[in-house]
Structure 1
Amino acid sequence: MNTPTDLTSYVRVLKLASTPAWDEFSKVATIAGLGIMLVGLIGFVIFAVMTFVPGGP
């Protein structure tokens, strides 16, 4: 259950939060996108290696 003190701390955090500038947002989005692509590439390499190794799936 939420108590009144929990609610006030949530409100305080929301008041401190601000919308990032376009520069900051684009940098974070680029880094996140590169991270997702890196994880996908690693997964694909593992899949490819396991496919071509004898006894693979």
Structure 2
Amino acid sequence: MDVKLDLSSYVRVLKLASTPSWEEFSKISKIAGAGIILVGLLGFIIFAAMSFLPA
């Protein structure tokens, strides 16, 4: 494990990173929120189906 090489690659990635614009951030937030709601809805549907169907 070469710590110096690891640190230099971390610093290189941080230098390349930039903050997103407001438009890009809001678009990503909407897509992520829709995904979370979709997964929650799917889980609720499975829960409801398992509750109402006889064992």
Higher helix share: 2
Provide TM-score, normalisation by structure 2: 0.95
List runs of 5+ in structure 1 lacking aligned partners. none
SS at match of 1:46: helix
Q: 2:34 matched to which residue of 1?
A: 34
Q: Calculate percent identity across the aligned residue pairs.
A: 67
- Paired residues, what number? 55
SS at match of 2:27: helix
Q: 1:49 matched to which residue of 2?
A: 49
Letter in 2 for 1:32: A
List runs of 5+ in structure 2 lacking aligned partners. none
Q: RMSD of the TM alignment (CA)?
A: 1.0
Distance in structure 1 (CA, Å) of the matches to 2:7 and 2:52: 55
Runs of 4+ in 1 over 3 A off after TM superposition: none
Q: Larger relative CO (CA 8 A, sep 6+): 1 or 2?
A: 1
Q: CA deviation at 1:2?
A: 5.4
